[in-house]
Chains A and B, each alone.
Chain A
């Protein structure tokens, strides 16, 4: 039988000038060192992802991979794909750029890791 546990993935809002630059610190507090970035093709194309990458201090957190293959109406297969990449790259945190679908996916992945007793220290959505 599955052991009982409660889980809350609460939100912390960082807003204002130099909020992006604080992401590295937030991951450091959570204990994450290798992170997986979830985003979509459009944001990568228009340069939003570049702004976030510019703000990350690579000496604190390492961006293992940027996964931008998330379509608008995504399925469970995409989540499985993300979980596989996450495990292969030995990541311990997820950064989701774009609120709706990417963040929802990152949360679903986190649930997946916890139920499989995998470590996921931080999930941040932008």
Chain B
């Protein structure tokens, strides 16, 4: 018995959207870390060469970020991961990446597995919460965040900076 065409299309759509959102999450990380003091402070607390992997659980679609000389860079291959977040299924990752499930709720529901230092993971979660507040409109962010943090720039400015950031 094979998968239905509907499910195949659904999976394909989710993969494409997840790739796009991971790209914006990475870019958002870079932009917000320069503009927001809280994110900047959290990233400063990570040691140099600190590597994070967010895996959505299918087809090796992931986001690997490394802190190098104070800057965050996206890498393709690495052997030593300091922190790894691995979603159990793409469907849950899709919910989280599209702002329908908060990272705290996803953690509480055991939607992903975590490998690495939990204090660093909490730091990453705080960063992602702030970045989500910048990336998602208030109406979405209100549902997934406990408290909307004070923002230093609007959503339009944030996306403009993401698109023209080098």
Contacts and interface: CB of A to CB of B under 8 A. Distances in A.
Interface of A: 16, 18, 21-22, 24-25, 49-50, 53-54, 57-59, 63, 66
Say what secondary structure dominates the interface of chain B.
loop
Given A57-B58, A59-B58, A59-B59, A25 B89 contact: yes
Contacts of B57: 25, 57
B82 interface: no
Report, as a range, how many residues of chain B touch the other chain.
10 to 19
List of 3 A-B pairs having minimum Cβ-Cβ separation, nearest first: A21-B89, A25-B88, A54-B7
B89 A63 contact: no
B16 interface: no
B92 interface: yes
B89 A22 contact: yes
B1 A49 contact: yes
B1 A21 contact: no
Interface of B: 1-4, 7, 57-59, 88-92, 95, 109
B88 A22 contact: yes
A73 B3 CA distance: 30
A25 B88 CA distance: 6
A27 B11 CA distance: 20
Contacts of B7: 54
A63 B3 CA distance: 11
A123 to B, nearest CB: 19
A58 B59 CA distance: 11
Contacts of B1: 49-50, 53, 63, 66
A21 B58 contact: no
A21 B92 contact: yes
24 contacts: A16-B109, A18-B89, A18-B92, A18-B95, A21-B88, A21-B89, A21-B90, A21-B91, A21-B92, A22-B88, A22-B89, A24-B89, A49-B1, A50-B4, A53-B1, A53-B2, A54-B3, A57-B57, A57-B90, A58-B3, A59-B58, A59-B59, A63-B1, A66-B1
